[in-house]
Amino acid sequence: MTRLIHEISELTRKPGVVRAFVPTMGALHQGHLDLVDASRTLVGTGGEVVVSIFVNPTQFGNATEVSKYPRTLESDLAQCEASGVDIVFAPSVSEMYPDGTQTSQYVSVQPGPLGSILEGVDRPGHFAGMLTIVAKLLNLVQPNFAAFGEKDYQQLALISHMVQQLNFPVKVVGVQTRREPDGLAMSSRNAFLNPEQRTEAASISRALFTAQAVEGNVDAKLSAARDLLSGQIETSYLVAMTSDLSRKLDGTEIAIEGRILFAGLLGSTRLIDNVPLGGVNPNE
Ligand code: PAF
Cα angle 129, 135, 139; round to 5: 145
Q: Is 23 in the pocket of ligand 1 (CB under 6 A)?
A: yes
Q: State whether residue 59 is helix, strand or coil.
A: helix
Q: What per-residue confidence (pLDDT) applies to 284?
A: 55
Q: Is residue 281 part of a domain?
A: no
Residues 29 and 91 in one domain: yes
Instruction: Report CA(216)–ligand 1 centroid distance (Å).
Output: 35
User: How much is the pTM?
Assistant: 0.96
Q: Is 140 in the pocket of ligand 1 (CB under 6 A)?
A: no
Residues 107 and 36 in one domain: yes
Q: At what angle do helices 153-165 and 126-141 cross, to 10 degrees?
A: 60
- Cβ neighbors of 31 (< 8 A, separation 6 or more) are 149, 151, 177, 178, 185, 186, 187
Angstrom distance (rounded) from CA 204 to CA 120: 20
Q: What per-residue confidence (pLDDT) applies to 255?
A: 82
Q: What per-residue confidence (pLDDT) applies to 280?
A: 57
Domain of residue 207 covers 188-276
Residues 108 and 240 in one domain: no
- Give the pLDDT confidence of 12-33 residue by residue, as tens digits: 999 999 999 999 999 999 999 9
Q: State whether residue 272 is helix, strand or coil.
A: strand
Segments in the chain below pLDDT 50: none
Q: Is 150 in the pocket of ligand 1 (CB under 6 A)?
A: no
User: What's the structural domain count of the chain?
Assistant: 2
Q: What per-residue confidence (pLDDT) applies to 283?
A: 54
